[in-house]
Amino acid sequence: MRQYLDIKDKHPDAVLFFRLGDFYEMFFEDAVLGARLLDLTLTTRDKGHADAVPMCGVPHHAARGYIAKLTELGHKVVMCEQVEDPKLAKGLVRREVVRIITPGITLDDDVLDPKVPRYVVSLALAPKHVKVAKESGVKDLRAQGDARKAPAFALGTLDGATRPGDAPASRGIEICGLAYLDVTTGELAATELPLAAVIDELVRIAPREVVC
C-alpha cells in the first residue's frame, strides 16, 4: 500500500484509479466514494483485520465509462498505470500517473452533446489597477456572433464600473482577464472585465472547470 499512498499524497483532491492487473482499484475514502457514486461493491483489503482497508474496483477495459461518470459529477480522476511488465519486474511493479482527467475534459464521446457547450475557463488578474471606459470588455465576446450570448455584465451595480451611456470611468478599478474554451467545438473567446463582474460572468457561462 505504500506505493498507492505515495501517489495519493501527491493528488489528494482526486479519485485515484490504481492499476492492479486487469482492474483499476480504489482504496480508502476513494473506494467509499466510488462505491456510492458508481454503484460498485465495497469490500476490504485484509478482511478480518481491525484496520482493513476499504476497496472497490472496475475492469480496466470498462474504466472510461466509470471515469466519465465521476467527472460528470465534478470529480477529478488520476489514472495510475503499471509501466512495466509484472512478469519482468524485480520486486514491486513500477507504476506512474499517466493521465489526469478533470471535469472539463472527457474520455468518453458518448457523454458529449454537440448542442451543449462544455466550457473550461481561465482567469488572470491584471497586475495593477487600470482605467476602463464604458462597457469595457464587452466588445471582444460580442464579436463572436449570435451563436453565443454576449456577456450580461451587471455593470450598473458594480463599484467603479460604468452604466451604458455614462461617461468613461475616471478612476481605476481592478481588471480580470477571462478566456473560455468550448472543448466540444474548439471555440475560444477572451475578454477583460471588472473583477467584481467575474462571478456574474461565470454564472452566465456555467463552465465545467475554472483554471486560475
pLDDT recorded at residue 56: 96
What would the pLDDT profile of 9-45 be if each residue is shown by its tens digit? 999 999 999 999 999 999 999 999 999 999 999 999 8
Bigger pLDDT: 37 vs 49: 37
Indicate whether 173 pLDDT > 90: no
**What is the pTM (predicted TM-score) of this model?**
0.66
Domains of the chain: 2-111 (3.40.1170.10), 119-211 (no CATH)
State how far Cα 162 lies from the chain centre: 33
